[in-house]
Amino acid sequence: MKLICIGRNYTEHIKELENEKPTDPVVFLKPDTAILLKKQPFFIPEFSNDVHHEVEVLVKINRVGKYIDKKFAHKYYKEIGLGIDFTARDLQAQLKAKGLPWEKAKAFDGAAVVGNWLDKSEFENVNNINFSLKKNDELVQQGNTSHMLWKIDEIIEYVSKYFTLKIGDVIFTGTPAGVGKVVANDKLKGYIEDRELFSITVK
């Protein structure tokens, strides 16, 4: 099982981090050890003083596929979820400045929150899903999948050129604007429409 993550998929987030708009999806991976265990708090790692929350819509792959055409991509997932891509922003900046990979800043233990799953049939259109993140009951991030530069089926087509998708793989589809630092005792709650899909505490 692997976590396939898409970076820079929302224009406003690209602007807030002063990144260049990509011509192709930015792809990176997290190992399964990055998944935060259910009902466990998120512990800020000792190697970072600037860990950011990035709320993202998730897709769970339900069949094996390679070189999947966009028009068939909808057959490869039945569930939509919500999660957080935790990022050690200070470490990431150091690595980017040296032209080095991001994994230490993105793929550390506990860096991936995977919330509850919803059946895809509950949505009229997966390209029009509202989602949000509250920190200490204050709305800090909100987005809609219609604002993605690359929509879900396009992401599946693209990543399946490089990686065979297997049952249980999870795709993180990118974060909207509003990412920010977490500190001890923060409470993070994620929502798709009005449904809470995860609630975690930061330690």
**Which domains are seen in the chain, by residue range?**
3-201 (3.90.850.10)
pLDDT at 18: 59
Query: CB atoms < 10 A from the CB of 60, how many?
Result: 18
Give 106-121 pLDDT, tens digit per residue: 999 999 999 999 999 9
* Full strand arrangement of the beta sheet holding 180-181: 87-88, 51-53, 180-181
Average pLDDT, the chain: 95
pLDDT at 23: 84
Distance CA 186, CA 164 (A): 37
Average pLDDT over residues 82-95: 97
